[in-house]
Amino acid sequence: MAKTIQAIRGMNDCSPTESPLWQWVETQVREVLNSYGYLEVRMPIVESTPLFARAIGEVTDVVSKEMYTFWDNDEQLTLRPEGTAGCVRAAIEHGWIYNNEQRLWYMGPMFRHERPQKGRYRQFHQAGVEVFGIANPEIDAELIILTARLWKKLGIDQHVSLQLNSIGSLEARANYRSALVAFLEQHQALMSEEEKERLIKNPLRILDTKNQALQQVLDDAPKLLDYLDDESREHFAQLCALLDSVGIAYEINPKLVRGLDYYNKTVFEWVTSALGAQGTVCGGGRYDGLVEQLGGHAAPGVGFAMGLERLVLLVQEVNASIPLKSAVDIYLVYQGEGTALAAFQLAEKIRSALPQLGTMLHCSGGNFKKQFRRADKSGATLALVIGESEMLNNQVVVKHLQGGVEQQTLDIEKVIDYIQSQF
């Protein structure tokens, strides 16, 4: 036998038994986004590398270590590690935001060369939202309220909690950065080489270190919230008041800075303790400078993205009552001269009249016993049986595969009404 070829590490197949749950999760996401009036956009998976370097930041982990980058003749291209940069690029390119508000969403694969583990993959899927042209905190609150509604729909609301912070204006952050560096320089003995490097390149990222000794010291570090400019402070207070007024609980986490450089003011993450180390199911925030930084007319922006693998895992872990229905509702079996054609015609008739049902035609021959075994395995509720005598009499036998109801013979023109009465 020829040697088999395996999938790339950290890049998963979605099996036929997993896809119904994925489809259900995706449907809940779409329904919630549609119910807020957001519009879907689709961007390419590949973009030019400088887009990500400029938007996400050269010294972030994503850009400095995790991008899949390659040369296409003399152009350097990258598999998108996230959706915000591409969405902003598209919005500028097509004039979606000029003098206009936009509330957009997207769903699709993203790529990061990280070390794979449960909940962390090299190809993963995000559903993301980006809102352009609205500066006030009502929209930050709407995004959070929208995600809270989704968690309810997915049955995971008791297992996620909201972390909130404001990282202020660029200037406030620069002031804070100096204070933090001055503080951390006294504790270099506790730092790994990587952390020492971060101290120079991206000191705010030290705030979410996993190094426990350093974590303890950080409790006494200067707090970003104390360095906020007045406008950011006011924006944050209004956001908190809005969330309070609709009863959404949150924890203000002064160490939450997020791993991408484009943020200002609001940042947030929804986290769970049910998935081990990869507990962030959704993250986002405001990025008021990004559109201008990428060459557009200045326009505020705010958004978030959720990791669909993590949501699917969490739903599997905590929601035992997902209403997943079998892909097949009706299974047609047939045997004998000319019955295949009759079965094909009946199946097509059912699909035209009742497109919401899954109607499967046996197709692969064999006696009735074998065919019924397949019908049972398919999970269908009804089997429709056409033998030679049924065909000659323009009839069909209806059998309830889940038991409970006697089988019966129906005239073929009554079949659609009968099926309809059963679902």
**Residue 266 exposure: Cα atoms within 13 Å on the Cβ side:** 32
Q: How far is the CB of 171 from ligand HAM (least distance, A)?
A: 21
> Does 198 belong to an annotated binding site?
no
Distance CA 143, CA 149 (A): 10
**How many angstroms separate the CA atoms of 305 and 80, rounded?**
14
161-220 binders of ligand HAM (CB under 6 A) = none
Residue (62 or 346) nearer to ligand HAM, CB = 62
Does 307 bind ligand HAM (CB under 6 A)? Our answer is yes
Residue 41's CB is within 10 A of a number of other CB atoms, namely: 19
Cα atoms in the Cβ-side hemisphere of radius 13 Å centred on 284: 28
Query: Any contact of residue 128 with ligand HAM (CB under 6 A)?
Result: yes
Q: How far is the CB of 180 from ligand HAM (least distance, A)?
A: 21
User: Does 304 participate in binding ligand HAM (rule CB under 6 A)?
Assistant: yes
310 binds ligand HAM per the rule CB under 6 A? yes
Q: Which of residues 276-295 bind ligand HAM (CB under 6 A)?
A: 280-285
Q: At what angle do helices 308-318 and 137-154 cross, to 10 degrees?
A: 40
Site map for ligand HAM, 51-90, x if CB under 6 A? -------------------------------xxx------
Residue 181 Cα distances to 64, 168, 176, 344, angstroms = 21, 17, 9, 73
Strand order in the sheet with 161-166: 39-40, 102-111, 123-132, 301-307, 280-286, 264-271, 161-166, 251-252
Residue 234, token pair as written in the block: 């006011």
Confirm or deny that 263 is annotated as ligand binding: yes
Q: Which is nearer to ligand HAM, 306 or 340 (CB)?
A: 306
Among 303, 312, 347, 375, binds ligand HAM (CB under 6 A): 303
The strands making up 75-79's β-sheet, listed across from edge to edge, are: 46-48, 75-79, 69-72
Antiparallel, parallel or unpaired: β 359-361 and 330-334: parallel
Q: Is 112 marked as a binding-site residue?
A: yes
Q: How far is the CB of 202 from ligand HAM (least distance, A)?
A: 15
Query: How many whole angstroms separate alpha carbon 120 and alpha carbon 98?
Result: 36
Comparing CB distances to ligand HAM, the nearer of 110 and 206 is 110
DSSP state of 188: G
What crossing angle do the helices spanning 137-154 and 19-35 adopt, rounded to 10°? 140
Query: Based on CB atoms, which residue is closest to ligand HAM, 286 or 362?
Result: 286
- Establish whether 106 is an annotated binding residue: no
Minimum distance of ligand HAM from residue 212's CB (angstroms): 23
Q: Does the annotation list 108 as a binding residue?
A: no
Choice from 67, 180, 306, 340 touching ligand HAM (CB under 6 A): 306
Residue selected from 28, 60, 78, 126 as contacting ligand HAM according to rule CB under 6 A: 126
| CB atoms closer than 10 angstroms to residue 203 | 19
Which of 54, 120, 187, 265 lies at the binding interface for ligand HAM (CB under 6 A)? 120
- The answer to the question of whether 82 is labelled as a binding residue is yes
Consult the annotation and say whether 258 binds a ligand: yes
Residue 146 as a binder of ligand HAM (CB under 6 A): the answer is no
| Contacting residues toward ligand HAM, per CB under 6 A | 82-84, 112, 114, 120-121, 124, 126, 128, 130, 259-260, 280-285, 303-307, 309-310
